[in-house]
Amino acid sequence: MFSYCVDPDSLETLAWMSCYLTTGVHMSFYMAFLKVLGLLAVTAPVALGFGFLGAMAARSGFGPLRWFGKTYIAIVRGVPDIAFFLFFVIALDQALEWLRHKALCPDWDMPIRQGNDFIVCQAAKLPAGSAPEWIHETYGFALAVITFAIVFGAFAANVLFGGMRAVPHAQLETAAAYGMTPRQTFWRVLVPQMWVYALPGLSNLWMVLIKATPLLFLLGIEDIVYWARELGGTKTSRFTDYPHGDWRMWYFLALLVFYLAFTKVSEIALEKLMIRLTHGQATTGGEAQRRAAS
């Protein structure tokens, strides 16, 4: 990157480091941090949406919808993440390609499954075989977001379901007595009050989600843990200008600092949110706030 980096062997430690840490492959490492943050920023709201829908379905008065919601929560919570990630993503990918294949290539006469091989016509490939690499990566990223959202959505649904049940029943009865319809009761009385009960559970989920991002590599996305392992490995002078020994410890130490700092910031933000949500609620926390103010 810098002009003096032409011959790294002759450099002092500090200058050598400045060259080493700005190589193209390190840029990919830094990009991976953005990738992880991006994934979290997209996945968290989507998963919360899934959770909200799941919780609404699970307490619905309409039988089939309620069974669907409860089944979703039970199955996804029960299956190990890693199995879900390996199985579901490949199945989803193949299902999409199979549907496109049926629609786009009706004349195809060869079987789709030939022994181990899964073959669809070129036009049905997702993304298209000729697409540039960044489209493939974006597609993989989208699959990752969907998978994360489904897994964490199930946990969020359970938390929100509990939160909805924790709202004092007298509140809902009062709303009904005032002549509110069930829909109005739900949106105006139940939902605004349930967050304070759901937040501790949701904040737990958020912390787990942050730490679950290395699962990305299972989906072929090069995340920070992959790069730390790759960059930290022993490098010999034949294949790089910056040979070094086994430095994985230092790279993983950097990851440790990153994750700790990130969870600490999250904790502070969630604490602030909790104070806001507690305001005016009929809970111990809300009562304490009222006393402190008066």
Partner 1 sequence: MKSLIFTTAALAIVAGSAFAQTVRMGTEGAYPPYNFINDSGEVDGFERELGDELCARAELTCEWVKNDWDSIIPNLVSSNYDTIMAGMSITDERDEVIDFTQDYYPPTESAYVALSEGVDLEGGIVSAQTATIQAGYVAESGATLVEFATPEETIAAVRNGEADAVFADYDYLLPLVEESGGELMFVGEGVPLGGGVGMGLRESDTELRDKFDAAITSMKEDGSLNALLDKWFGEGVGTY
Binding residues vs partner 1 (CB under 8 A)? 23-25, 27-28, 90, 93-94, 107, 114-123, 125, 129-133, 136, 217, 220, 222, 229-230, 233-234, 236-243, 246, 248
We find the least distance from the C-beta atom of residue 187 to partner 1, in angstroms, to be: 44
Q: What is the DSSP string of 123-175?
A: GG-SS-TTS-HHHHHHHHHHHHHHHHHHHHHHHHHHHHHHHHHHS-HHHHHHH
Contact 97, 124 (CB under 8 A): yes
Q: Which is nearer to partner 1, 113 or 279 (CB)?
A: 113
Tokens found for residue 157: 């649904």
We find the least distance from the C-beta atom of residue 13 to partner 1, in angstroms, to be: 18
Q: Which is nearer to partner 1, 42 or 137 (CB)?
A: 137
We find the least distance from the C-beta atom of residue 218 to partner 1, in angstroms, to be: 8
Q: Which is nearer to partner 1, 87 or 187 (CB)?
A: 87
- Residue corresponding to tokens 């897994």: 151
Q: Which is nearer to partner 1, 59 or 248 (CB)?
A: 248
Quote the distance between the C-alpha of residue 28 and its chain's center: 20
Q: Which is nearer to partner 1, 18 or 171 (CB)?
A: 18
Give phi and psi for 118, each to the nearest 5.
Answer: -110, 105
We find the least distance from the C-beta atom of residue 120 to partner 1, in angstroms, to be: 7
We find the least distance from the C-beta atom of residue 127 to partner 1, in angstroms, to be: 11
d(CA 103, CA 31): 37
Tokens found for residue 30: 């830094």
Query: 3-class SS at 92?
Result: helix
We find the least distance from the C-beta atom of residue 91 to partner 1, in angstroms, to be: 10
Contact 152, 158 (CB under 8 A): no
Q: Which is nearer to partner 1, 80 or 132 (CB)?
A: 132
* Sequence-distant (≥ 6) Cβ neighbours of residue 16 within 8 angstroms: 8, 242
d(CA 216, CA 171): 43
